[in-house]
Structure 1
Amino acid sequence: MRDIIDDPDVLASLSHDEAEWAPYGKPLGAVRPRSTAEVSEVVAYCAERRIPIVPRGAGTGLSGGANAVDGAMILDLSKMNRIVGIDAANMTATVQPGVVNDDLKRAVAGHGLWYPPDPASSPWSTIGGNVSTNAGGLCCLKYGVTRDYVLGLEAVVGGPAGAYGTVVKLGRRTTKGVSGYDLAGLFTGSEGTFGVLTEITVRLRPARREAPRTVVGAFAGVVAAGEAVAAITRAGLLPAALELLDRTCLKAVEEWKHLGLEADAAALLLAQLDTPGDDEATAVANVFREAGALWAEQSTDEAEAEALFAARRLAYPALERLSPVLTEDICVPRSEVPRMLASIERIAARHGSTIATIAHAGDGNLHPMILAAAGDEQAKRAAQGAFEDILSAAIAMGGTVTGEHGVGLLKRAGMRQELSPAVLAMQVAVKQTLDPLGLFNPGKVVG
């Protein structure tokens, strides 16, 4: 087996993702396989010796889903980064799990095609990681999340499929198919707890024919921006993306990257429209104004529009440069966005915490980011208290504790609060059936 890693410093870097304060253990070692056969070999070896198996991609996760447990073998899939094939006639692509999201986008664009799922981490995150967490992104309001594009999977599994190390094909390559249960759908979002993904077939869309239009609205507060989001929904408008950034995020990005942004408002809404013509963009700008925007304009400067969306993608790393960041991933019904944003402000005040907010506001997926200075234990405890209160508030509004980052380690208590005992028991039963030895990514999701 090539690429066996036992260097302590390298192992330490592979032992956790980007989730602040999520615990992680000391792994036994790590392997960087390059093929399905090598993954199968590692899984069989580990199963024989009862060694836990923790798959990871780029390590960009924010829930602790790729964190090691003591004595685990880390399967670093970053070397399985080959685009196996692009079928332009059927608008599909088949890739290994280590292919980076943006690399797939660029490859299919050469065939006049488009892969829409676009998490903010798309320049770095891998398709395997995206599938494991059912990642969303900026365009999911109109075009859906990763699960909407997964047609088929190859995985190395154990349990009822046979001995650990068995390779199975799930799903299909056809547009339709209902032969048996949707096991590909079950594995999508399972965070590596059922097996190791080794190949993924995704559906593609025709490339957009013209550059999207961008409408920017400035608001006196994040709650006012939330009211505008609810108004967009009531008006029946469906932007390709509708993103929120508060002043703290904009300032952090500008101080880091010097994109020429002006944080002259408490919050900005960025709407991206790709319907031909200007009518939709004009309608969105009018809704912003009617909802109380300080100003709302359609951007005629493509570079300016790109800088604004770049700021949205860079918000997390920009804030992370300033202090440790505990990132939320709640999702509420779109009509509840204003109330949830108001609740976040109250929670921040109650705990004395600084909370910066970005959001896929159009689909109710909010990412409050709680800042706590390094080494400040009081600030850390306050941040953790605010984190749990935000989860409870989202559940009370009919929402969920994770929209796209996954449960991992950080959201297990929230998931138990959100789901009924009967549903939790079903999840545990599925895990025990597919992984009776409990080797695949132990301690995650169902715990």
Structure 2
Amino acid sequence: MASELALLLGIGKVAVNDEVLAAYAVDAAPVLDYQLPVAVVWAESVADVQAVMRTCSAHGVAVVARGAGTGVSGGAHATRGCLILSLERMDRILDLNPDDETAVVEAGVVNAALNVAAAEHGLMYAPDPASFRQSTIGGNVATNAGGLRCAKYGVTRDSVLALDVVLADGSLIHTGHQTFKGVAGYDLTALFVGSEGTLGIVVAATVRLKYLPRNVQTIAAFYPDFRLAAAGVLAVGRARVQPAIMELLDAGSLTQLDDAYGSDLRSRGAALLLIQTDGFGAEAEADVVRHVLAAGGAVVTTEASAEAETLVELRRSSRGAAPDDDYRVGEDVAVPRSRLVDYVAGLDRIAARHDVRLRVVAHAGDGNLHPTFWVTAREEGAAPDAGAIQRLNLALDDSITVALEMGGTITGEHGIGQFKRRWLGLEQAPEVRELQRRIKELFDPAGILNPGKAI
């Protein structure tokens, strides 16, 4: 089949050598079942994607679509006998209309590249996952990615107006509309956003742009205790101020940043709350925020701080450069904001009960937390033993259970992928999961689109 695709697509678009197969076999998530794909294909046009899907449909070969491979739930992991379809070369901004405040982009356009183009017109693409300098719009759409600004501006679904999608049989459909409003028929665009490549291959998206803020105020607030910092998030909400960014880092995350960048954050507190207000009222909102946080026991920057802005950039990398593996796993749960303090306390108890290490960063503005659990070896240079791995998995299970008990969800923005399917039944009733399976069968009757993921 690979040779057939090579003839169809042309030179340089199909690879079957082991080095390339291994490079494209996984994304940044822990690997539960390592498999090499049978081939890697780089699509450069919609016609290429259609040719791949027609060929794979005829041969019954599974297709795993891939953008930049930055996902952390295993949504782009290879499965047995599959073909990896990379969309990274489909990286053109097809249209950017500053009057309509929209852009049409191919799936491989990098989030940051779209923002650079939009900024020339005083606009921005609001969703900004921490991986925005590498992650693609297609990947963002596949997982309904969020990011730092989503408390104010929403997640990917809130910015997607229309999609071009290649279905399992190679046919091309267009969903949605060019206008901000539109309620004709079922909202298939919203259905595809977050479907993780299991219903169709998104090849282009029409997205809504927002105004680039003329004024941005960034505040750093250090607390002696992480739970006090979480309480500060609620205090800002009660003041009825809507920051663009509210990020929360615990002592372990501050220590990690100090080790990586030579900063002195941990010596200044046991938790850091970063808040950014934007727009014409940014300064007045920032004054209110500073007063509220100081009243709650924080040491707060007293004016717009270049250091605080730098800290926001450091926050984007605070999850760590090392990918998740058997010994270190970052989670992506969300709870109602009113339960932030309770959930953080619960995480501390879980880590202590199972004797695992813990650090936490959070998109605190919308209750989305990223706790990272890890285990270390008893001896220098050795791998953790089987008992340590068992303790790690028990801690992960408990962190999910406690989040659900508080009215939360098992994934706020990273998706289910392969890694989180084991917990999906805890959140969704059998009737709901059966309905999703029936929708999957309608779009993909042969089951060749990213099998074993998402549902």
Match of residue 5 from structure 2: none
Instruction: Tell me whether 1:108 sits opposite 2:132 in the alignment.
Output: no
Instruction: Tell me whether 1:394 sits opposite 2:398 in the alignment.
Output: no
Change (3 A) 1:312 1:147: same
Report how far residue 252 of structure 1 moved: 1.6
Among 128, 132, 145, the residue aligned to 1:118:
128
| Counterpart AA for 2:383 | G
Query: Do 1:213 and 1:298's aligned partners in 2 also have CA atoms closer than 8 Å?
Result: no
Q: Which whole-Å deviations, capped at 9, do the CAs of 1:107-138 have from their partners, x for residues lacking one?
A: 11012211110011111111100000000010
Instruction: Tell me whether 1:431 sits opposite 2:440 in the alignment.
Output: yes
Report how far residue 77 of structure 1 moved: 0.9
In the alignment of these two chains, the number of paired residues is: 438
Secondary structure, counterpart of 2:75 in structure 1: coil
Instruction: Tell me whether 1:202 sits opposite 2:211 in the alignment.
Output: no
Secondary structure, counterpart of 2:316 in structure 1: helix
Q: Which whole-Å deviations, capped at 9, do the CAs of 1:267-301 have from their partners, x for residues lacking one?
A: 100000114253211211222122232x1224433
Identity %: 42
Secondary structure, counterpart of 2:402 in structure 1: helix
Among 297, 300, 319, the residue aligned to 1:296:
300
Q: Which whole-Å deviations, capped at 9, do the CAs of 1:166-219 have from their partners, x for residues lacking one?
A: 011111111211111100110000000001111111010122112x11111111
Match of residue 368 from structure 1: 371
Which has the larger displacement, 30-39 or 4-13?
4-13
Match of residue 315 from structure 2: 312
CA–CA separation in structure 2 for the residues paired with 1:104 and 1:69: 31
Change (3 A) 1:22 1:230: farther
Secondary structure, counterpart of 1:315 in structure 2: coil
Among 167, 176, 190, the residue aligned to 1:157:
167
RMSD: 1.7
Report how far residue 319 of structure 1 moved: 6.0
Superposed, 1:319-398 pairs within 5 Å as: 325-373=328-376, 375-377=383-385, 378-398=387-407
Secondary structure, counterpart of 1:39 in structure 2: helix
Query: Do 1:157 and 1:195's aligned partners in 2 also have CA atoms closer than 8 Å?
Result: yes
Query: Do 2:219 and 2:304's aligned partners in 1 also have CA atoms closer than 8 Å?
Result: no
Which sections of structure 2, spanning at least 5 residues, go unmatched?
A: 1-8, 377-381
Match of residue 20 from structure 1: 30
| Counterpart AA for 1:375 | A
Report how far residue 230 of structure 1 moved: 1.9
| Counterpart AA for 1:78 | E
CA–CA separation in structure 2 for the residues paired with 1:428 and 1:182: 18
Change (3 A) 1:110 1:357: same
| Counterpart AA for 1:300 | A
Superposed, 1:14-163 pairs within 5 Å as: 14-158=24-168
Secondary structure, counterpart of 1:79 in structure 2: coil
Change (3 A) 1:322 1:433: closer
Change (3 A) 1:128 1:442: same
Report how far residue 388 of structure 1 moved: 1.2
CA–CA separation in structure 2 for the residues paired with 1:175 and 1:434: 26
Query: Do 1:299 and 1:305's aligned partners in 2 also have CA atoms closer than 8 Å?
Result: no
Query: Do 2:157 and 2:190's aligned partners in 1 also have CA atoms closer than 8 Å?
Result: yes
Change (3 A) 1:424 1:77: same
| Counterpart AA for 1:27 | P
Which has the larger displacement, 116-125 or 278-287?
278-287
Structure 1 runs, 4 residues or longer, greater than 4 Å off: 259-263, 318-324
Among 407, 413, 425, the residue aligned to 2:416:
407
| Counterpart AA for 2:384 | D
